[in-house]
Amino acid sequence: MLYKNKWIITRRDFLKASVLAGISAASLPGCSQIILPGTKARFGIITDSHYADTDTRNNRYYRESAAKLAECIDLMNQQKVDFLVELGDFKDQDEPPVEEKTISHLRDIEKVFRRFRGPKYHVVGNHDIDSISKKQFLENIINTDIRAGSAYYSFESRGVHFVVLDANYRKDETAYDSGNFTWTDTHIPTLQLEWLRQDLAATSLPAIIFVHQLLDGTGGLYVDNAREVRDVLQASGRVLAVFQGHKHDGDYKIIEGIHYYTLKAVVDGSGAENNSYAVVEVLGDNGITVTGYRKAVSRELSPAV
C-alpha cells in the first residue's frame, strides 16, 4: 500500500484558529505562500452549500451560502490551488419547489463558483436533482475539460489521478431524476463500478476519490453497496483517500488503509464563522495534508514508510 494508518493533527491548525478568532482566511498575511516542500497536487474542497434564495429552515441558511462560497473562492484564488471541487448538494429549492426558480438558484451559485481562476469540478449530490433532472443540473454547470453531461469521470493533475463518482441511483440501479428517489436509498450501479475498476487499473498514479454520499459505513447516509465500492478501491492498491460530503457535521474514518475524510457543510449555521472549506496537499511521498478553514477540521495523513 502507498500509505500508513496514522492520522495526526496538523501544526497548521493555527490558520483555522485565526479564522475562528474573526480574521478573514483570505486576508491572512502570507496565506497564499504556505506550500509544503515536495507538494505534488494542491486543491480546494467545499461541500453542501445548498444555495437557494429562500428562507432559513432547520438551521440551514440557504441565502448565506453564496457569500460563504465567495469567501472560499477568494482564498483559493489567493493561494492559487491547482483546482477546486465542490462535493455535492450545490443548490437547494423552495418549498414548494418551482422548476424555474430551482434552476435560477443553480445558475446563481454557479456564477459564484466560476469566479475561481482555475479548473473547477462538481460532484452531483442528491439535493442537486431533488426537483430538476440530472440532465438539467449538468447542463447548468461546467466541469473543466470534462465531456459535457458526465456525472462521473476522472482527470489527472500534477502526478495524481482523481476520480469523481456519482452515487445518485436507487438500489434497483434507476438513476435519480427530478426527485424520483428517497435520499436514504443511494447506490453506485454495476456499469459505473466496472468503469471505476478499469479506470483505476489504467493508471500508474496514486489516486484520490471524490463522492457525495458516504462510502465508509452502513445506514441511511451511506451508499448501500459501499463495501463493494471499497473492495474496488482497495484492490487497486492506489487509492490514498476519499473525500466526501453529505454528512453535515463531518467525519473521519480509516478502513483497510484508505482514509475517508468527510468535510463539514457550508449551509448549517449563520455567519462567516459557520463556513467550511479546506485546502488539500498531496506531497511527493504521498502524504496528505488537509488545512481546514472556519469549521473544517485540519488533518495530516502520513505516507507509508
Domain range annotation of the chain: 3-23+39-303
Chain position carrying cell 475524510: 261
| 22 backbone dihedrals φ, ψ, rounded to 5° | 110, 5
At 34, is the pLDDT very low, low, confident or very high (cuts 50, 70, 90)? low
pLDDT for 32 beyond 60: no
The answer to whether 138 touches 148, Cβ cutoff 8 Å, is yes
At residue 37, the pLDDT reads: 58
Mean pLDDT over residues 265-280, rounded? Answer: 98
Strands across the sheet containing 153-157: 153-157, 160-164, 207-211, 239-244, 258-262, 251-255
Chain position carrying cell 483570505: 26
At residue 35, the pLDDT reads: 56
Furthest C-alpha separation in the chain: 55
Q: Which three cell numbers stand for residue 20?
A: 475562528
The answer to whether 285 touches 254, Cβ cutoff 8 Å, is no
pTM score: 0.89
Mean pLDDT over residues 163-178, rounded? Answer: 97
At residue 15, the pLDDT reads: 42
CATH level 2 (architecture), domain 3-23+39-303: 4-Layer Sandwich (3.60)
Length of the chain: 305
Write out pLDDT tens, residues 180-226: 999 999 999 999 999 999 999 999 999 999 999 999 999 999 999 99
Question: What's the first-to-final CA gap in the chain, in angstroms?
Answer: 10
Give pairs for 12-20: CB < 8 Å, separation 24+: 12/289, 12/291, 12/298, 13/298, 15/291, 15/293, 15/298, 16/291, 16/292, 16/293, 16/294, 16/296, 16/298, 19/273, 19/293, 19/294, 20/273, 20/294
Mean pLDDT over residues 33-57, rounded? Answer: 85
At residue 7, the pLDDT reads: 34
Q: Which three cell numbers stand for residue 193?
A: 463500478
At residue 179, the pLDDT reads: 93
Chain position carrying cell 429562500: 54
Write out pLDDT tens, residues 49-91: 999 999 999 999 999 999 999 999 999 999 999 999 999 999 9
* Rounded Cα distance, 289 and 282, in Å: 7
Identify which has the larger pLDDT, 169 or 40: 169
